[in-house]
Amino acid sequence: MTYLPYFVAAWLLIVGLYGIITSRHLVHLIMCLVVVQTSTYVLLLAIGFRYGAIAPVFADVPVGTPAVDSVVQALMLTDIVVEATVVALLLALAIKAHERTGSADPENLGLMRG
């Protein structure tokens, strides 16, 4: 149990990579990339957690109460919002690739023509 979140993070990474490699549709590939990104959240969250501790918000509790790590939470927070915009950029690329080649299959994208 003490190492379960680390195994879950590795499993999500491997499963997401498997989905990317064996994908037949560009949008399916992008959503598997989202799963890979969430594996890093699980890992960061598990590192900062402490049993019996509260959230790092001291609005109504005294300052000395044991709280979980706030630095890793700050890293995850910006990462989530930025991930959504990067997915938007990748979706724009997928739309353009479908327009130029006529199919959304990564196998049919072929070599670069120039």
Partner 1 sequence: MIVLHAEILIFVAVAGTAVVLTRNPLSQVIGLTFYGLLLALMFFIFQAPDVAFSQIVVGAVALPLMVLLALAKIRNREVKQRMHHER
Partner 2 sequence: MSFRWRKSLFVLSAAAFFAFYLWGLRGLPGLGHYPGPYGDIINAVVVSERHVTDAVTAVNFDYRGFDTLGEEFILFASVMGAMVLLRKSEDEEIDPPLDFAPDRVAPPMSDAVHLLGFLLAGPLLVFGLYTVTHGQLTPGGGFQGGVILASVPLMIYLSADYECFCRITSHTLAEVAEAAAAGGFALLGLIALLFGLPYLQNFLPLGETGNVASGGSIALISFLTGVEVAAGFVLLMMVFFSEAFVLRAIGEDKPEKKQKTRP
Q: Closer to partner 1 at the Cβ: 87 or 109? A: 87
Q: Which two tokens stand for residue 43?
A: 């890992």
Nearest to 97 by CA among 81, 109, 85, 107: 109
Q: Closer to partner 1 at the Cβ: 47 or 113? A: 47
| 47 is a contact residue toward partner 1 (CB under 8 A) | no
| 50 is a contact residue toward partner 2 (CB under 8 A) | yes
Cα–Cα separations (whole angstroms), residue 49 to 28, 55, 72, 76: 32, 10, 10, 13
**Residue 106 binding partner per list partner 2, partner 1, none, with a CB distance cut-off of 5 to 8 Å that depends on partner kind:** none
Question: Which residue in 40, 91, 106, 109 binds partner 1 (CB under 8 A)?
Answer: 91
Question: Which residue in 40, 45, 106, 109 binds partner 1 (CB under 8 A)?
Answer: 45
Q: CA 97, CA 93: separation in Å to the nearest integer?
A: 6
